[in-house]
Amino acid sequence: MSVTLSPRALMSLLVNGPKAVDVLETALAVGLLDALEAGPGRLGELAERLGARPLRLYKFLDCLETLGVVERDEPGDDIAQAVYRAVPGLKEAVLAVVGPEAIERDRDRYPWRRLHGRLAESLRGEVSMTEDDFVWPPKTDEQTAAFERSMSAGVGPAVETIHRHADRLWSGRRRFLDVGGGDGTLAARVLDDVPDLRADVYNLPAVAPLVEQTRARCGHPDRLGFVGGDFFAGPLPSGYDALAFVRVLHDWPNDVARRLVEKAYAALEPGGLLLICEEFRTPDRLAIQFFWSYFLVGVDSAFSRLREAEWYTGLLKEVGFERIEVLPGGWELVTAYKPTTT
β-pairing verdict for 322-327 and 333-337: antiparallel
Q: Are 210 and 149 in contact (CB under 8 A)?
A: yes
Distance CA 201, CA 244 (A): 10
Distance CA 172, CA 163 (A): 16
Residue 12: strand, helix, or coil: helix
Tell me, what's the pLDDT at 150? 76
Distance CA 329, CA 287 (A): 17
Tell me, what's the pLDDT at 1? 46
Tell me, what's the pLDDT at 342? 60
pLDDT tens, N- to C-terminus, the chain (342 residues): 445 778 888 899 899 999 999 999 999 999 999 999 999 999 999 999 999 999 999 999 999 999 999 999 998 899 999 999 999 999 999 998 888 878 888 888 889 999 999 999 999 999 999 888 888 778 888 888 877 877 777 788 899 999 999 999 999 999 999 999 999 999 999 999 999 999 999 999 989 999 999 999 998 899 999 999 999 999 999 999 999 999 999 888 899 999 999 999 999 999 999 999 988 888 888 888 888 889 989 998 877 778 999 999 999 999 999 999 999 988 899 999 999 976
Tell me, what's the pLDDT at 288? 80
107 CB-near residues (< 8 Å, 6+ apart): 150, 291, 292, 295
Residue 318 burial (10 A CB sphere; 0-12, 13-18, 19+) = exposed
Q: Are 154 and 106 in contact (CB under 8 A)?
A: yes
**β partners of residue 179:** 202, 245
Q: Are 287 and 275 in contact (CB under 8 A)?
A: no
Directed axis angle between helix 208-217 and helix 185-193, to 10°? 40
Q: How many residues does the chain have?
A: 342
326 CB-near residues (< 8 Å, 6+ apart): 309, 313, 332, 333, 334
Residue 273: strand, helix, or coil: strand
Give me the numbers of helices (H) and strands (E) for the chain, helices first please. Answer: 17, 10
Tell me, what's the pLDDT at 341? 79
